[in-house]
Structure 1
């Protein structure tokens, strides 16, 4: 009869080690698969959140642009109103000065002479003409006239700007 083979401790250990290795390899494979699935899930969530935040940012950006455009339009309307008001006041002041000269022209004739009285009359008529032209023109037309003046007489324009700056500086220096 044949004697049954009794596994030696070496072959049992080898079979046990192989089983443990296989078990461990399967556990590692399952862990990797789980980690990959979890990573994919979080990538999806991240992409969705990023998309949501991007849409929110675009929405708020468009809203801010709309508000800024509305504010700019309101500011333009107000600036135009103030400019028209300033134009009307300037015209009124020129007419007032012209009338004051007209009222005092006889005094100039008597005190200084007829020649200087004629100068005052001419200046008064020029002022009235300028006030009338100022009333008739729009702000855009006045802007174009100013640009044309600067192009044709840049030296005079700079001199007038310096003089206006000096006068404004003196006016606001006291305040």
Structure 2
């Protein structure tokens, strides 16, 4: 009978209530632990994000510094190439002018004095252009080119198209 007394509806309800309370408290503990783990994960993610941003700023600074170095190197190299190109162009114009002047007498004999005079005039123009090119810096030549484009944009576009056509013809396979 003692066993029967322990299984009465009151005791069964009490046990069920204890189990419900235990289940509720276990659920609350689990929720609490889960929320704590979630908050810890969020804090870890925030810390990693902050570290990644700091590293990114450092990398960005390094890349910008290298980019500026490369820019300066390219600028110096372009200046050297421009000066070399200017000197070679000036020499080529001067040489061409001398060659035309040297052949002016032959042109006089074969085609007439009128064409010889044209050759002498072309020779003088080439010599003067070579002298002007020698006397100016690359920066001055660039400014002169910009000014010419501002004064005659249609002519500049036409010359650019002609130069592009000539370059394309030079590099096109035969």
TM-score range, shorter chain: 0.7 to 0.9
Which residue of structure 2 lines up, in the alignment, with residue 61 of structure 1? 60
1:1-175 to 2 correspondences below 5 Å: 9-174=8-173
TM-score by length of 1: 0.82
Tell me the matched-pair count.
Answer: 170
Residue 167 to residue 10, structure 1, CA distance change in 2 (3 Å): closer
Unaligned runs of 5+ in 1: 1-5
Q: 1:23 to 1:130 in 2, by over 3 A?
A: same
> Deviation of residue 92 (structure 1)?
0.3
Q: 1:159–1:52: structure 2 CA closer, same or farther, 3 Å change rule?
A: closer
Q: Which moved more, 1:124-133 or 1:66-75?
A: 66-75
CA distance in 2, matches of 1:8, 1:118: 136
Q: State the superposition RMSD in angstroms.
A: 2.3
Task: Pick closer, same or farther for the CA change 1:129–1:46 going to 2, 3 Å.
Answer: same
TM-score of the superposed pair, with normalisation by structure 2:
0.82
Unaligned runs of 5+ in 2: none
Displacement, 1:89?
0.6
**Cα offset, 1:68, TM superposition:** 2.4
Give the whole-Å Cα distance in 1 for the aligned partners of 2:115 and 2:156.
Answer: 28
